[in-house]
């Protein structure tokens, strides 16, 4: 096998191999090829995406650390800072759902820990195929079990997230994990190596053969037998992870600690050179000093292993024994494996002999940008559907004479949709109360709420995104991904302050996939700029496709909000009989892109734009036209909502999103079992089930209606009815809250 063939076997292109030879001034050996293959993988280098990511706003008055570190950091109050990031573990979870999901949780926790923060909360955004598909059910059960196993055992609560079910995700499920941490500003750490002669210490678990070439595996299409991919999946140990948290937080209190880095994707092939690049130095590693758990491991296997629960520390020369004692006290491995050097190279030694040496600048940030150009599809939007909803026809005209009450009957069907219905089966398997900071947990509101012990303020956190919107209109889908996160945060009464994202797409070498990526980024950037929100961290996951399907463009947005007074938190559900119900925001729009059309108005399949692309939205399904978001209205709406919170006028608030207005009202009824007498003059499917943007359903006490309408000057609003009874009443028909609840709670009846 020639060196070029060997390079291609490692996932490097001929162009990349030629670049490596030019950078080194010679041909690389196999270990050096391994180093380049991991550092230059799509997963680690962002080589296809970084030119687009530069368009996202990353600065703001609260930003203490933006993109470029293990996680983003925002300042809060009283010297407190919040640390947060989201990462994907899609391919490993598709192959080995339990361990893939579990190690995704473990990895994002260590990202937060490496900033010197204590992890306080987890959120998960999941995508699977249709629940009627046995493969999707198996993946769902395995992923949920893996998340529960790791999060519950390590003692970090899982407080939120979202789940969608669509055929596009049948072969490539998506498992995006977000972690949130807290620290004092003076305790902030960075992943940097500095000071010639300072020591590099490897701590945590021993190194094994699991996860070798994991980052490369995540940077290719998921094609071939799943069993062949299993060696690329890491195996986690949450009990060791818990010890690692406590030992590392103790180490972070020592003044001799210079920097620390999680061993995530690429393991020792990527973390030390990244630390060296940030510090403008080089690092030498003695590979025989690394504690192993498998016999006869080669230097190649040791360096490229992605064994879990490991971290690298850079500590001041002479203080190494102090750190070794800390970790060994906690029952963890700890060994000095190298040191900082003046030459800006990554040098690997074995038994006194140099077996690999590569310039740091070549490894980190040296990957040549692929020669790829975005290309819009010939027909970016599916053909118009007869069910677009032109005008305002009522249900009697469209649904076989069901009459005006048909909306409530169809609401029951919609509540049974797994994407809409209760996710209790999932979140009841998660411990969301450990650490005793959870004020609002999963299922109770649009965002979770976490207290900060001893402080008046609280943190609101949310995570989600709708891939179908982006498949139909990537730009508008990107706008909505940001706005939906904002709505969730505002619904609990908090002010949104920062964003992390996980961008899940198919193969970027496909010009149309790259076009959709560019348009989604453009939409997200526009919305974030309009709402003055910075992106402080994130992740890109490409190659989410199989031989028969590619996923929808799926940006997942994680967001943090600040509630300055925890007593001002706003419930989601109806609170009292007689309260007035208002729709606040945009008052009309289309039904296109909605879950209602997907579930209740499917049209016969027509030929696909690509013969084998089963994951595409089909033409003729009526999922085509999205109502554009008015960002100026968004600004006014959010300002008005926060003003209502500060005046303590809102009894409850819930944003209108998947399922539309009636679903939002039904969800509000579940909290206390209170119904509503609705007085709508428009019973069209657009009004009842459309998912157009910029809307909240709120309730106020009767005596506060005047103050509400005064503060809503410049923002559209409409009175919908009154809270009361034990049923939803609409157009002369009624359905009990209990019947609605039964439909909602059995949607994931596994």
Same domain, 218 and 281: yes
Per DSSP, helices labelled H in 647-712 are 660-670, 685-689, 705-711
Q: Which among 670, 187, 624, 221 has a CA at the least distance from the CA of 415? A: 670
Name the CA dihedral angle for 135, 136, 139, 140, rounded to a multiple of 10 degrees: -150
Same domain, 327 and 383: no
Q: Could you give the CA distance from residue 59 to residue 561 in angstroms, rounded to a whole number?
A: 16
| pLDDT tens-digit series, residues 631-655 | 999 999 999 999 999 999 999 999 9
| pLDDT tens-digit series, residues 442-451 | 999 999 999 9
Task: Identify the CATH number of the domain in which residue 177 sits.
Answer: 3.90.650.10
Q: Could you give the CA distance from residue 388 to residue 685 in angstroms, rounded to a whole number?
A: 10
Q: Could you give the CA distance from residue 429 to residue 145 in angstroms, rounded to a whole number?
A: 8
| pLDDT tens-digit series, residues 527-566 | 999 999 999 999 999 999 998 899 999 999 999 999 999 9
| pLDDT tens-digit series, residues 569-618 | 999 999 999 999 999 999 999 999 999 999 987 654 333 333 333 344 44
Same domain, 133 and 243: yes
Same domain, 389 and 271: no
Longest alpha-carbon distance in the chain: 86
Q: Is 351 left (phi over 0), alpha (psi -120 to 50) or beta?
A: left
What residues are annotated to the active site? 43, 89
| pLDDT tens-digit series, residues 253-294 | 999 999 999 998 889 999 999 999 999 999 999 999 999 998
- State the pairing for strand pair 676-678/717-723: antiparallel
Q: What is the pLDDT of residue 401?
A: 33
Phi/psi at 359 (5° precision): -60, 135
Name the CA dihedral angle for 158, 161, 165, 167, rounded to a multiple of 10 degrees: -100
| pLDDT tens-digit series, residues 161-188 | 999 999 999 999 999 999 999 999 999 9
* Least confident among 138-147, 206-215, 389-398, 657-666: 389-398
**Residue 603 burial (C-beta neighbours within 10 Å; 0-12, 13-18, 19+):** middle
The residue to which tokens 């190596």 are assigned: 193
Indicate whether 377 pLDDT > 90.
no
Q: Could you give the CA distance from residue 547 to residue 507 in angstroms, rounded to a whole number?
A: 11
Q: Which of 335, 363, 391 is the last residue of a domain?
A: 363
Same domain, 151 and 284: yes
Same domain, 229 and 345: yes
Same domain, 652 and 737: yes
- Mean pLDDT value across residues 15-22: 94
Return the H-helix or E-strand segment holding 176. strand 174-184
Same domain, 593 and 695: yes
Same domain, 305 and 224: yes
Q: Could you give the CA distance from residue 244 to residue 326 in angstroms, rounded to a whole number?
A: 10
Average pLDDT for the chain: 90
Q: What is the pLDDT of residue 265?
A: 81
**Residue pair 481/466 in contact by the 8 Å Cβ criterion:** yes
| pLDDT tens-digit series, residues 70-108 | 999 999 999 999 999 999 999 999 999 999 999 999 999
Same domain, 261 and 393: no
| pLDDT tens-digit series, residues 315-355 | 999 999 999 999 999 999 999 999 999 999 999 999 999 99
Domain hosting residue 749, numbered range: 378-431+570-750
- Mean pLDDT value across residues 482-491: 98
| pLDDT tens-digit series, residues 716-745 | 999 999 999 999 999 889 999 999 999 999
Q: What is the pLDDT of residue 601?
A: 75
**Residue 342 burial (C-beta neighbours within 10 Å; 0-12, 13-18, 19+):** exposed
DSSP codes, 301-331: HHHH---SSEEEEEE-TT-HHHHHHHHHHTT
- Mean pLDDT value across residues 113-118: 98
Indicate whether 147 pLDDT > 50.
yes
Length of the chain: 750
Q: Which two tokens stand for residue 101?
A: 């999901």
Same domain, 292 and 423: no
Q: Considering its fold, how many domains does the chain have in total?
A: 2
Return the H-helix or E-strand segment holding 151. helix 134-154
Q: Which two tokens stand for residue 692?
A: 């157009």
Q: Which of 363, 387, 404 is the last residue of a domain?
A: 363
């Amino acid at each position: 096998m020639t060196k070029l063939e060997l390079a291609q076997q490692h996932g490097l292109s001929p162009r990349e191999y030629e670049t490596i030879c030019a950078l080194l001034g010679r041909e690389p050996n196999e270990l050096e090829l391994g180093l380049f293959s991991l550092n230059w993988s799509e997963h680690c280098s962002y080589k296809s995406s970084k030119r687009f990511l530069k368009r996202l706003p990353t600065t703001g008055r609260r930003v203490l650390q933006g993109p470029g570190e293990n996680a983003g950091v925002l300042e809060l109050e009283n010297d407190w800072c919040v640390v947060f990031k989201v990462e994907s573990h899609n391919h490993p979870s598709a192959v080995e759902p339990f361990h893939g999901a579990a190690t995704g949780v473990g990895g994002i926790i260590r990202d937060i820990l490496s900033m010197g923060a204590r992890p306080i909360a987890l959120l998960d955004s999941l995508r699977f195929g249709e629940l009627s598909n046995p493969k999707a059910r198996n993946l769902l059960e395995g992923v949920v079990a893996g998340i529960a196993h790791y999060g519950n055992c390590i003692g970090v609560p899982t407080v939120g997230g979202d789940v969608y079910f669509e055929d596009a995700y049948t072969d490539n499920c998506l498992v995006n994990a977000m972690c949130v941490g807290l620290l004092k500003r003076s305790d902030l750490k960075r992943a940097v190596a500095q000071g010639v002669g300072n020591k590099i210490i490897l701590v945590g678990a021993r190194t094994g053969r699991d996860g070798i070439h994991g980052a490369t595996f995540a940077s290719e299409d998921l094609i071939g037998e799943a069993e062949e991919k299993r060696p690329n999946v890491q195996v986690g140990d949450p009990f060791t992870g818990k010890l690692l948290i406590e030992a590392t937080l103790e180490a972070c209190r020592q003044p001799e600690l210079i920097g620390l880095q999680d061993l995530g994707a690429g393991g020792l092939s990527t973390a030390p050179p990244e630390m060296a690049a940030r510090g403008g130095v080089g690092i030498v590693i003695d590979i025989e000093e690394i504690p192993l758990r498998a016999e006869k491991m080669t230097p190649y296997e040791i360096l490229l292993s992605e064994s879990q629960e490991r971290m690298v520390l850079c500590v001041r020369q002479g203080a190494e024994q102090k750190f070794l004692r800390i970790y060994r006290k906690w029952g963890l491995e700890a060994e000095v494996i190298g040191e900082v050097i003046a030459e800006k190279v990554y040098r690997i030694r074995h038994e006194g002999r140099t077996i690999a040496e590569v310039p740091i600048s070549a490894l980190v940030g040296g990957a040549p940008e692929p020669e790829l150009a975005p290309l819009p599809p010939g027909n970016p939007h599916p053909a118009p559907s007869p069910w677009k909803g032109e005008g305002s026809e009522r249900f009697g005209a469209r649904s076989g004479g069901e009459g005006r009450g048909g909306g409530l009957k169809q609401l029951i069907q919609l509540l049974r949709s797994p994407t809409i219905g209760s996710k209790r089966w999932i979140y009841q398997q998660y411990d969301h109360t450990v650490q005793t900071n959870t004020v609002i947990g999963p299922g109770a509101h649009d965002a979770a709420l976490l207290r900060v012990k001893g402080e008046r303020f609280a943190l609101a956190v949310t995570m989600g995104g709708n891939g179908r919107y982006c498949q139909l209109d990537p730009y508008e889908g990107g706008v909505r991904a940001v706005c939906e996160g904002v709505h969730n945060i505002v619904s609990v009464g908090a002010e949104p302050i920062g964003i992390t994202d996980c961008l899940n797409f198919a193969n970027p070498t496909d010009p149309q996939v790259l076009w959709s990526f560019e348009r989604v980024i453009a939409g997200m950037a526009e919305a974030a700029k309009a709402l003055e929100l910075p992106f402080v961290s994130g992740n890109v996951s490409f190659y989410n496709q199989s031989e028969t399907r590619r996923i929808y463009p799926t940006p997942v947005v994680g967001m943090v909000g600040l509630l300055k007074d925890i007593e001002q938190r706003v419930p989601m559900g109806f609170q009292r009989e007689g309260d007035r119900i208002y729709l606040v925001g945009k008052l009309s729009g289309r039904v296109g892109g909605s879950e209602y059309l997907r579930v209740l108005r499917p049209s016969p399949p027509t030929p696909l734009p690509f013969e084998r692309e089963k994951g595409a939205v089909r033409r003729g399904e009526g999922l085509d036209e999205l109502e554009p978001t008015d960002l100026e209205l968004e600004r006014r709406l959010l300002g008005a909502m926060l003003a209502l919170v500060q005046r303590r006028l809102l009894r409850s608030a819930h944003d209108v999103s998947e399922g539309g207005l009636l679903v939002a009202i039904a969800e509000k009824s579940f909290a206390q079992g209170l119904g509503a007498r609705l007085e709508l003059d428009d019973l069209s499917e657009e009004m009842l089930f459309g998912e157009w943007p910029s809307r909240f359903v709120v309730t106020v006490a009767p005596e506060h209606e005047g103050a509400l309408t005064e503060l809503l000057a410049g923002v559209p609003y409409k009175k919908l009815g009154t809270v009361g009874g034990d049923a939803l009443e609409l157009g002369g028909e009624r359905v009990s809250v209990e019947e609605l609840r039964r439909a909602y709670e059995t949607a994931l009846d596994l």
